[in-house]
Structure 1
Amino acid sequence: MVGENAGLRPFVASDIDWLVDAHAQLYARDEGFDQSFGVLVREILEEFVAKQEIDVEAGWVAQAKGVPLGSIFCVRSDVPDVAKLRLFLLLPTARGTGLGRRMLETCMRFARDRGYHGMQLWTHESHRAACALYAANGWSLTRSEPVHSFGVDLVEQTWEITF
Structure 2
Amino acid sequence: MTVQDIRSFNRFYTHLIGALDYGRHLYAPYTLTESRVLYELAHSPRTDAADLRVELHLDAGYLSRILNRFEQDGLIERTPSERDTRRRRITLTARGRETAGLLDERAHRAVEELLATVPPMERGRLAEALRTVRTVLGGDRTPGPGDVVLREPGPGDLGWIVQRNAALYAAEYGWNSDYEGLVARIVADFAQGHDPRLERVWIAELDGRPVGCVMCVRDEAPATARLRLLLVEPDARGLGIGDRLVRSVVDFARGAGHRELVLWTNDVLTAARRLYQRHGFALVAERPHRSFGRDLVGQDWRLELRPRPE
3-state SS of paired residue (2:230): strand
Unaligned runs of 5+ in 2: 1-142, 306-310
Q: Distance in 1 between matches of 2:223 and 2:159?
A: 31
Q: Does 1:8 align with 2:8?
A: no
Q: Does 1:92 align with 2:234?
A: yes
Matches within 5 A, 1:39-118: 39-118=181-260
Specify the code of the residue in structure 2 equivalent to 1:36.
D
Deviates more, 1:137-146 or 1:7-16: 7-16
Q: Distance in 2 between matches of 1:144 and 1:2?
A: 36
Q: Distance in 2 between matches of 1:35 and 1:108?
A: 30
Greater C-alpha Rg:
2
- CA offsets 1:9-35 (integer angstroms, 9 cap, x no match): 112452122111100111001111011
Unaligned runs of 5+ in 1: none
- CA offsets 1:67-108 (integer angstroms, 9 cap, x no match): 111111111001111100011111111222111111111111
Aligned CA distance change for structure 1 residues 149 and 10 (closer, same or farther; 3 Å):
same
Q: Does 1:130 align with 2:272?
A: yes
Q: Distance in 2 between matches of 1:111 and 1:13?
A: 24
Aligned to 1:161: 303
Q: Distance in 2 between matches of 1:155 and 1:34?
A: 16
Q: Does 1:37 align with 2:37?
A: no
Q: Distance in 2 between matches of 1:61 and 1:8?
A: 6
Q: Any conservation in 2 of the 1:119–1:160 contact (CA below 8 Å)?
A: yes
3-state SS of paired residue (1:107): helix
Using the size of structure 2 for normalisation, the TM-score is 0.51
Q: Any conservation in 2 of the 1:81–1:117 contact (CA below 8 Å)?
A: yes
Q: Distance in 1 between matches of 2:209 and 2:301?
A: 30
Q: Any conservation in 2 of the 1:11–1:59 contact (CA below 8 Å)?
A: yes
Higher relative contact order (CA 8 A, sep 6+): 1
Aligned-pair Cα RMSD in Å: 1.1
3-state SS of paired residue (1:25): helix
Q: Once the 2 structures are TM-superposed, how far is the Cα of residue 2 of structure 1 from its aligned partner?
A: 4.5
Q: Any conservation in 2 of the 1:147–1:155 contact (CA below 8 Å)?
A: yes
Aligned CA distance change for structure 1 residues 2 and 23 (closer, same or farther; 3 Å):
farther
Q: Does 1:24 align with 2:161?
A: no
- CA offsets 1:11-70 (integer angstroms, 9 cap, x no match): 245212211110011100111101111111111111101011111100011111211111
Q: Any conservation in 1 of the 2:284–2:301 contact (CA below 8 Å)?
A: yes
After TM superposition, the runs of 4+ consecutive aligned structure 1 residues lying more than 4 A away are none
Q: Distance in 2 between matches of 1:43 and 1:13?
A: 18
Specify the code of the residue in structure 1 equivalent to 2:161.
L
Q: Any conservation in 2 of the 1:70–1:88 contact (CA below 8 Å)?
A: yes
Q: Distance in 1 between matches of 2:218 and 2:159?
A: 23
Using the size of structure 1 for normalisation, the TM-score is 0.96
Specify the code of the residue in structure 2 equivalent to 1:16.
L
